[in-house]
Amino acid sequence: MSQLVFDEALAAQLETLYRTRDVLRRRRLVREALQAGPGDRVLDVGCGPGFYVAELVEQVGPTGSVTGVDASPQTLELARRRTEGHDNVALRLADAIALPVPDGAFDAALSVQVLEYVADVDAALAELHRAVVPGGRVVIWDVDWSTVSWHSTDPARMARVLAAWDGHLADPFLPRTLAARLRVAGFTDVAAEGHSFATTERTPDAYGAAIVPLIRQYVAGRDGISGDEAAAWAAELGERGERGEFFFACIQFCFTATRPT
Ligand SMILES: C[S@@+](CC[C@H](N)C(=O)[O-])C[C@H]1O[C@@H](n2cnc3c(N)ncnc32)[C@H](O)[C@@H]1O
């Protein structure tokens, strides 16, 4: 198993993926859950290319601020370019388990599709708890990768590809344990909402189409899957799309919680 490396090439791919219709929908859902308002100080853990940072800085206005933290210099560089000119944005290179921020410095925090990559999730939750003020809200979004369902006439190959893809992160099933972990970390008002991302069309705007090249690249040469087999897997999905037979679904989870006052 070796996790995805958020290097320059992947950062560029994320830049495209994060402009798709489904990821725009995800950002809207996250921002609705976060409920940030004018003057709020917001922390984005694992901010990646900075789409949330750029949107939230408009939402909190000139009296608020947004701090983005990420462990990848390459994605942070994209975030820097995206938020250039905003003096109420701070971007920090750091790990989610050791946030370079003072205690209780934020009114709200978010972490979208990040904790599933973090080996010590409990340490990251402790850091989020420390970083927000008492009464502060956190929003955490992760995918349960076992819910991924693609129509294929080669279910054995599909199962092997998805099993290999599970190796791209630390915990492919994190949503199953996240509510309990949030409570142990000291949060209250813990709630989870599952959002289905489903499509019967292979449009580049659909999550289930946009992630195919990423998965193909990652699984090729891993767990006994050759480059040709990974290509054949992706080609089948392409052909299904052309024939009007495409089907994809997965459930992504939005957790909300509060640091008690
Ligand atoms: C799938 S991207 C999500 C980016 C962003 N949250 C979004 O949804 O637009 C995951 C991001 O988490 C970052 N990341 C992964 N592990 C991390 C860690 N231990 N500490 C901080 N950032 C991490 C990666 O560098 C990458 O930018």
Ligand 1 centroid from CA 152, angstroms: 30
**Between 73-82 and 8-17, two packed helices, what is the crossing angle to 10 degrees?**
50
Q: Taking a C-beta distance cutoff of 8 angstroms, is the pair 159, 102 a contact?
A: no
* Ligand 1 atom with the shortest distance to the CA of 96: 20
Amino acid at the residue 207: Y
Which tens digit of pLDDT belongs to each residue from 158-203? Answer: 999 999 999 999 999 999 999 999 999 999 999 999 999 999 999 9
Give every CB contact of residue 127 below 8 A, 6+ residues apart in sequence.
Answer: 45, 96, 97, 98, 99
CB 43 within 8 A of CB 133: no
pLDDT at 102: 98
The alpha carbon of 226 and the centre of ligand 1 are apart by a number of angstroms equal to 28
CA–centroid distance, residue 113 to ligand 1 (Å): 7
Q: 213 with 259: CB under 8 angstroms?
A: no
Instruction: State which ligand 1 atom lies nearest to the alpha carbon of 44.
Output: 6
pTM for the model stands at 0.96
CB contact at 8 A, 187 and 259: yes
Q: Pocket around ligand 1: residues whose beta carbon is below 6 Å from it?
A: 6, 18, 46-48, 51-52, 70-72, 75, 95-96, 112-114, 117-118
**Distance in Å, CA 65 to ligand 1 centroid:** 20
Cβ–Cβ under 8 Å, residues 21 and 52: no
Instruction: Work out whether strand 65-70 and strand 248-258 pair parallel, antiparallel, or are unpaired.
Output: unpaired
How many Cβ atoms are within 10 Å of 102's Cβ, its own excluded? 9
CB 21 within 8 A of CB 46: no
What is the SS3 string spanning the chain? CCCCCCCHHHHHHHHHHCCCHHHHHHHHHHHHHHCCCCCCEEEEECCCCCHHHHHHHHHHCCCCEEEEEECCHHHHHHHHHHCCCCCCEEEEECCCCCCCCCCCCEEEEEEECCHHHCCCHHHHHHHHHHHEEEEEEEEEEEEEEEEEEECCCCHHHHHHHHHHHHHHCCCCCCHHHHHHHHHHCCCEEEEEEEEEEEECCCCCCCHHHHCHHHHHHHHCCECCECHHHHHHHHHHHHHHHHCCCCCEEEEEEEEEEECCC
How far is C-alpha 44 from the geometric centre of its chain's CA atoms? 11
The residue whose two tokens read 């099993």 is 163
**pLDDT in single tens digits along all 261 residues of the chain:** 578 888 888 888 888 888 899 999 999 999 999 999 999 999 999 999 999 999 999 999 999 999 999 999 999 999 999 999 999 999 999 999 999 999 999 999 999 999 999 999 999 999 999 999 999 999 999 999 999 999 999 999 999 999 999 999 999 999 999 999 999 999 999 999 999 999 999 998 999 999 999 999 999 999 999 999 999 999 999 999 999 999 999 999 999 999 999
State CA 100 to chain mean position distance. 21
> In terms of Cα–Cα distance, which of 1, 259, 261 is closest to 130?
259
